[in-house]
Amino acid sequence: MKLRSMMCVGAVATAMAAFATDALTDSKTLGWMRVDSTNAVTVVGVPWAAVTNTAVDVSVANLIKTDNLTAGDSLYVYNDGAWSRFVLNAGRTAWEGSSTTMSIGGKSTTIPAATDGQLIARGKALYLERQNPTEGGVAKPFYLYGAVGATAVTSSEFSGANKYLVASPKASAFVVNHTNITGASNKDTIQVPLAGGGSRIYQYFTKQNKWRCNGKWEDAEGYEAIALGTGFWYLASSTSAITFNW
């Protein structure tokens, strides 16, 4: 079972101010999640909210801690068909916006630099590309950090594009065949990246109202849990709304 440790902390004024005023002004329950993955490319979930009260969505640059990562690792944000990119700086102290050129769909595409204040909501996902995902043949974990949301996210809605990055907003593993997805069209596809390349592929068939995994209806792979803190690509047949009911 993946390790998750929780800490309860208060937002406290500085020590000097504590003597003059009521120091305790608010409290947050913070989450710290370890994600074990041997994938060089990992779809990363967003189970936490912002630590401050300025926004519900968490800052992309704050979500994934730099522990165990390598300078030059890339973090991609994909929102409604638009890409942007962060790179871990030389001192491994911060994610910094950095543009790049890559092949997408067989075409050379420029990915613009992500902005520092970029936010992402629970139920969406990011795309982490690591140079050194293992150490001594063992998965090198990375860590997600943020505040436990004041209210649970029970559904995530996507629309207006044909491709989405999706992950459970809960701090737990989940199974595609046990997830209620409304609005799915015939032959919509879910791709779960696997270690060593390739993906576990699910396709939806409206006639059977079921997801088929790797070309088989009752393949045991279809009931393999997607690890906590990770997610998948959703390739939609239309731009109509799709809702994941968690």
pLDDT tens profile 104-152: 768 888 999 999 888 998 889 999 999 999 988 888 999 998 888 888 8
The H or E element that residue 60 is part of is helix 60-63
21 domain residue, yes or no: no
101 domain residue, yes or no: yes
> Distances from the Cα of 116 to the Cαs of 75, 127, 187, 199, in angstroms?
13, 17, 37, 31
65 domain residue, yes or no: yes
Q: What is the structure's pLDDT at 1?
A: 35
Whole-angstrom Cα distance, residue 42 to residue 194?
8
Taking Cα atoms as reference points, which of 178, 147, 196 lies closest to residue 7?
147
Here the tokens at position 230 are: 């990770």
> 62-94 as b/e, with b when 16 or more CB fall inside 10 Å?
bbbebebbeeebbbbbbeeeebbbbbbeeeeee
> Distances from the Cα of 26 to the Cαs of 11, 153, 182, in angstroms?
6, 22, 38
Record the pTM: 0.82
The DSSP output letter for 114 is P
Domain count for the chain, please give it.
Answer: 1
Q: Give pLDDT < 50 ranges for the chain.
A: 1-25
19 domain residue, yes or no: no
Here the tokens at position 228 are: 């906590």
Q: What is the structure's pLDDT at 73?
A: 97
Burial class, 110, CB count within 10 angstroms (exposed 0-12 / middle 13-18 / buried 19+): exposed
146 domain residue, yes or no: yes
Q: Taking the CA atoms of the chain, what radius of gyration do you get in angstroms? A: 19
Tell me the residue range of the domain where 102 lies: 4-13+27-245
- Count CB atoms within 10 A of the CB of residue 142: 23
59 domain residue, yes or no: yes
18 domain residue, yes or no: no
187 domain residue, yes or no: yes
